[in-house]
A and B are shown apart, each in its own frame.
Chain A
Amino acid sequence: GEDVEQSLFLSVREGDSSVINCTYTDSSSTYLYWYKQEPGAGLQLLTYIFSNMDMKQDQRLTVLLNKKDKHLSLRIADTQTGDSAIYFCAAPRGSTLGRLYFGRGTQLTVWP
Chain B
Amino acid sequence: NAGVTQTPKFQVLKTGQSMTLQCAQDMNHEYMSWYRQDPGMGLRLIHYSVGAGITDQGEVPNGYNVSRSTTEDFPLRLLSAAPSQTSVYFCASRSGQGRTDTQYFGPGTRLTVL
- The residues of A with any CB-CB pair to B shorter than 8 Å are 4, 8, 30-31, 33, 35, 41-45, 48, 88, 92-93, 97-100, 102-105
Q: Is the CB of B103 within 8 A of A100?
A: yes
Task: Find chain A residues with CB under 8 A from B48 CB.
Answer: 98-99
Task: Find chain A residues with CB under 8 A from B44 CB.
Answer: 102
Tell me the minimal C-beta distance from A40 to chain B in angstroms: 8
Known contacts A42-B108, A45-B103, A97 near B45 by CB under 8 Å: no
Determine the main DSSP class of A at the interface with B.
strand
Q: Is the CB of A97 within 8 A of B96?
A: yes
Number of B residues near A (Cβ < 8 Å) is 29
Known contacts A8-B40, A99-B45, A42 near B33 by CB under 8 Å: no
Partner of B102, one of A4, A8, A48: A48
A42 to B101, CA, bound (A): 17
Chain B, Cβ-Cβ closest to A41: B107
